[in-house]
Amino acid sequence: MYFNNINEPNTYDAIVVGSGISGGWAAKELCEKGMKTLVLERGRDFQHVTDYKTAYLAPWEFPHLKRSTRQMRREQSVQMRTGYTVSEAHGYLFVKDTEHPYIEHKRFDWMRGYQKGGRSITWGKQSYRLSPMDFEANAKEGIGTPWPVSYDDIAPWYSYAERFAGISGSKEGLPQLPDGDFQPPMALNAVELEAKKAIETKWKGRKLIIGRAAHLTEPTEEQINLGRGQCQYRNLCMRGCPFGAYFSSQAATLPAAARTGNMTLRPHSIVHSIILDDDKGRAKGVRVIDENTGQAIEFFARVIFLCASALPSTAILMRSTSKRNPNGMDESGALGHYLMDHHLGVGANGVFEGHLDKTTFGRRPNGIYIPRYRNLHEPGTGGYLRGFGYQGGASRQGWSRNIEGFGVEFKKQFTSFGAWEMGMGGFGECLPYYENKVELSKTRTDRWGLPLLEFDAEFKDNEKKMRIDMMNDAAEMLEAAGMKDISTHNSEPVIGLGIHEMGTARMGTSSKNSVLNKWNQVWGTPNVFCTDGAFMTSAGCQNPSLTYMAFTARAANYAVEELKKGNL
Amino acid sequence: MTGVGLLLPEAVLARAGEILEGAPPKRRFFNGTEKRIVAAFAECVVPRTDTPGAADVGAPGWIEILVDDCYDYDDQMDFREGLMEMDQAARDRFGKGFSRLTYGQQVQLLTDLERSDIARAKADPHAPPSFIRSFKDLVKLVYVSTERGANEAFSYVAIPGRYDGAAPVQPTTKVEAPVW
């Protein structure tokens, strides 16, 4: 399909900015529909399998037994805030903060991975649908702006995304967490099954299920043809999976795009802005800065997909100015506002005294999930809106537990099994607040001359109230499950730490209240689509990546249909 | 204390200066006294039994690398101070530096120091973290991360290939070494 004169230099049918979860999907869909597509990745190339240099290393094969060095922590002082990202095994998949600074008026933990595939290599793989009530909540409660899309609009695209990506999970028939097209679920272990029984008996509206996760348990022919295999239960996913068993751009969407012969992927390509044609009300292409040479290059296409992740896509829209768009591509004033994340770091742990004759074999890269029940079957305590889900799991205590003493007696215990323990941590919905915002710095730039991002965002009262239930409910459920020595925790929630940045170029019903329309098109510039977390009108409490996949596929399909009709 | 345990100090001292096969290159971060205390302490945490001890797996060398490269500068100072305080405690009680005590004396001293740390933490939740506890945690972490520790005293399975949520625990079933 040649909509442009492809013989013109640097000209394609479509440009996709970013190669992470959303960008990979846009590339796949556009290429499969015959579009000559240029994928621009700001970071380095990163090949599936052959570049996963740590994937098979044992702890003793790392220079520091996998621990982060002082040098790494100095270079990745923000990335290390999660407590798990900066390690010798996978720290190199996250940016050096010394090279990619930003400004925090309030603390914002921004985790970034600048390589082909982006954070699709290191993501958590939990994959849940938003529910009809999630899409309706804003309108019902008068919060933020209404979603312009209903669950029924997106449901077939969820199925489409699930079938290609491969999501393992159990069908539960829950209205707040719709079932999907799943591969067989992973197993709950002995103690999780005890907890499930106890919790579901005591509370009619609460369910404990196995996490729905993007790991292949029964690969389809399509997945096998792409070179993907079944999960091997190593739980070393963050190093890249040499079996292609979890969904990543590398394992799934980029090879699907590449085999069409329609994809050109250009690494080291930082998008400065979109080239606008005010007379036609369209975008012509994008301006790129080569990461290594600093050279400015222009690329042209009929349609542009912004999939750079929420904040970089927002920054590109802000930097894309013209006479008609002096403040960037937004007429509503919503661009950069309503920044959301999920709040976590709250829950409980306990010890289970039974099942001492059992343990787990294999390392399941997944855990339990307790779908939302507050403000559905049970009101929230103290009057807050929305709700939360839990993730967690049970395992046998081993070498790392605290044991008193020294010498032979200590070693005997150190090398033997402890009791089972179980923990659960909440993932809470964050409301969209106008005041939670990101802006372009007026004074400071990065080494490529692009303005730094300035963050001014925080979790507010609704989230903080919710956290009391998140903490206490976890303890109550563990107690009901027969756990002892229950301890609770509720750390000061930090925005960004959920690594689910959302909402800064939201969808809405009109150009007055939003940046994007119901097809993820920028109002006023219909050949620019944005399908990463920036479009989220509300957050739900579910992990959002599956939603980005579904919306990206839907938008790409729409874009090509419109091009064919001559409407774009 | 068992006879095996009492035989250990010489074995430890002999090993402290050796370059073990497959062990990482030697560092000069610790001075001789510090090296000897570190090696003796590590062996008190994980002595050689029917499975390797700390020295057997090269734990002292790894500890030196980790403290040298991974610890923040403040924590390095605290670590050195902690070693010297431990040595002083040995002198106060037994009239000899820690590494010159018998293995039984070392274990006794560390057991008592740990107990008083625990009592202090109970009385004052804001008490500074115990050096003994954090050093012990470091030895544990290093031991389970070494090839012999992981494979001989624990079980290291690179590619399990499956998940069993109710696998039987037999007398021979070993605890899993960490991979993550």
Q: Which residues of B touch A56 (CB under 8 A)?
A: 158
Residues A488 and A508 in one domain: no
Q: What are phi and psi of A545, to 5 degrees?
A: -60, -40
Chain A nearest C-alpha distance from B165 (Å): 4
pLDDT of residue A174: 98
Interface test with A, best of B63, B109, B138, B179 (most A CBs within 10 A): B179
Residues A483 and A448 in one domain: no
Residues A351 and A334 in one domain: no
Q: What long-range pairs does B17-20 form, CB within 8 A, spacing at least 24?
A: B20/B56, B20/B58, B20/B61
Residues A364 and A334 in one domain: no
Number of CB pairs, chain A paired with chain B, less than 8 A apart: 159
Residues A333 and A405 in one domain: no
Q: Which residues contact B137 (CB under 8 A, 6 or more apart)?
A: none
Please check whether residue A116 is in contact with residue A249, taking contact to mean a CB–CB distance below 8 angstroms.
yes
Taking the Cβ of residue A234 and every Cβ of chain B, the question of whether any pair is shorter than 8 Å is answered with yes
Interface test with A, best of B164, B173, B174 (most A CBs within 10 A): B164
pLDDT of residue B19: 40
Could you tell me the residue range of the domain that residue A362 belongs to?
175-211+343-428+461-494
Residues A535 and A422 in one domain: no
Whether residue A232 lies inside any domain: the answer is no
Residues A414 and A376 in one domain: yes
How far is A561 from A378, CA to CA, in rounded Å?
Answer: 44
Whether residue A367 lies inside any domain: the answer is yes
Residues A157 and A27 in one domain: yes
Residues A531 and A489 in one domain: no
Residues A7 and A153 in one domain: yes
pLDDT digits (tens, 9 = 90+) for A541-556: 999 999 999 999 999 9
pLDDT of residue B126: 87
Of A68, A360, A404, the CB nearest to B167: A360
3-state helix, strand, coil in chain B (%, to 5): 60, 5, 35
Q: What are phi and psi of B166, to 5 degrees?
A: -150, 55
Residues A408 and A439 in one domain: no
pLDDT digits (tens, 9 = 90+) for B167-179: 999 999 999 999 8
Complex confidence, ipTM: 0.94
Specify the number of domains making up chain A.
2
Residue with the larger pLDDT of the pair B125 and A245:
A245
- For residue B130, the number of C-alpha atoms closer than 13 Å in the C-beta half-sphere is 21
pLDDT digits (tens, 9 = 90+) for A37-81: 999 999 999 999 999 999 999 999 999 999 999 999 999 999 999
> End of a domain among A470, A494, A518?
A494
Whether residue A30 lies inside any domain: the answer is yes
Helix axes B32-45, B8-16, angle to 10 degrees: 130
Residue A543 belongs to domain with CATH number: 3.50.50.60
Residues A477 and A404 in one domain: yes
Q: Which residues of A touch B46 (CB under 8 A)?
A: 410-411, 414
pLDDT of residue B4: 37
Closest-CA residue of chain B to A210 = B165
Whether residue A546 lies inside any domain: the answer is yes
pLDDT of residue A8: 78
Whether residue A218 lies inside any domain: the answer is no
In degrees to the nearest 10, what's the CA dihedral of A518, A523, A527, A532? -60
Q: For residue A81, what are its two tokens?
A: 């805030």
Whether residue A386 lies inside any domain: the answer is yes
Q: For residue A5, what are its two tokens?
A: 């004169």
